[in-house]
Structure 1
Amino acid sequence: MTQNVSGRVGAAVLAGLDTGLCAICAATIVAFSVMLIAQVGLRQIGEPLFWIEEVCQYLMVYLCFLGTAIAWGRREHLVVDFLPSLLPDTPRKVLTFAVDAVVLVFAAWAAWASAEFALYSMRKISISLEAPVGYGYLGAPIGFAIVSLQSLIFMVCGEKGQVLSRQPELEEVGM
């Protein structure tokens, strides 16, 4: 009974994170595209805005780390699955748990280290934006913190906490 409840709660948290992260990444891609198109047009008329390039660099940082969290939360991150596919159910679950534990430890450390770097970078002011550079680097600790949370949910809830991929399997679509 408890596993059922924790599995449903875990799945709900993962689904909410997935939806929110997808919305943020979609908005980031739109903003990135609009700014780059505007920059190309402005360069053609000889009036480029230099801050656009820096904002696009920071948006790319956020997109990279938030996209990583989306892939990890869906269990669609690049993975070598040769060994797990050969194992019976129980050893496969143990291996998956161990991998989740390693990812949790690494992601928690990376969130802490990148947060320290972002906070340290707040002292440096961007010339073109006239804002602390650290804001551009906050995507890394945010993304790693989300991956840590997802790994913890996977470990506590097991397979029931997984959000299934939104893309149908090839067999389902007749390929």
Structure 2
Amino acid sequence: MNRLEHYFLAANKWALVVLLSAMAVIVFANVSLRYTTNFSITWAEEVARYLMVWMTFLGAGMALRMGGHVAIANFQEMLPQAAQRALRIVILLLLLVFCAIMIWMGKDYMARARFQVTPATRISFSYIYAAMPIGFTLLIVHLLLIAKSFVLENRFAEVETDTASISGHGEPTPGLAANRD
């Protein structure tokens, strides 16, 4: 399971890197062309915007995993330990229900928008709206992967940084733990 989770995380991280890189290149090229040749790429703003939408939905699960979303912990910390765990179970279940509803709504948006096309690139809006059900599915997977440690210990996943390529050493080193205790 750890190996499968590792590959899942790596694929999610690389998807974000590719999307951010593509967006940066497109925006840089468009700005450079606009100021050097007075020519603008007609589809650049549209594509960059849709890449940002996809990055948001694909990255939300990673942020959840690390405890990066907004949370109010004061109320929970005032409760006894057993009540804290019960509250975290309720929060977990509410998040799962919310994500499931958002997957259903995202599929509905996709179905409604399948015949509409974007102004510049002329692609179906269903490809843009696909980010919603895919992103919330990833959120559910990330949530289930951290559910046990979240409910039992109020602990999120640790941030891992891959310094092997930078420092020349072999193994990735764990970074800061996103622990809210």
- Shorter-chain TM range is 0.7 to 0.9
TM-score, structure 1 normalization: 0.79
Q: Residues 10-34 of structure 1: CA distance to partner in whole angstroms, max 9, x if unpaired?
A: x655544332222111111111111
Percent identity over the alignment is 21
- Return 77-86 or 108-117, whichever deviates more: 77-86
2:93 matched to 1:101?
A: yes
Count how many residue pairs are aligned between Structure 1 and Structure 2.
161
- What is the match of residue 55 of structure 2? 63
Structure 2 counterparts to residues 56-135 of structure 1, below 5 A: 56-135=48-127
TM-score, structure 2 normalization: 0.76
2:139 matched to 1:147?
A: yes
The structure-2 alpha-carbon separation of the partners of 1:148 and 1:169, relative to structure 1 and needing over 3 Å to count, comes to closer
Shift of 1:108: 0.6
Task: Choose between structure 1 and 2 for higher RCO, CA contacts under 8 A separated by at least 6 residues.
Answer: 1
Comparing both structures, which one devotes a greater share of its residues to strand?
2
- SS class of match (1:127): coil
Structure 2 residue identity aligned to 1:57: R
Structure 2 residue identity aligned to 1:79: A
- What is the match of residue 5 of structure 1? none
Structure 2 counterparts to residues 8-47 of structure 1, below 5 A: 9=1, 14-44=5-35, 45-47=37-39
Extract unaligned runs of 5+ from structure 2.
161-174
Q: Residues 73-110 of structure 1: CA distance to partner in whole angstroms, max 9, x if unpaired?
A: 22332211112223333222211111010000001101
Extract unaligned runs of 5+ from structure 1.
1-8, 171-175
CA distance in 2, matches of 1:13, 1:74: 18
CA distance in 2, matches of 1:117, 1:68: 19
The structure-2 alpha-carbon separation of the partners of 1:156 and 1:112, relative to structure 1 and needing over 3 Å to count, comes to farther
RMSD: 2.5
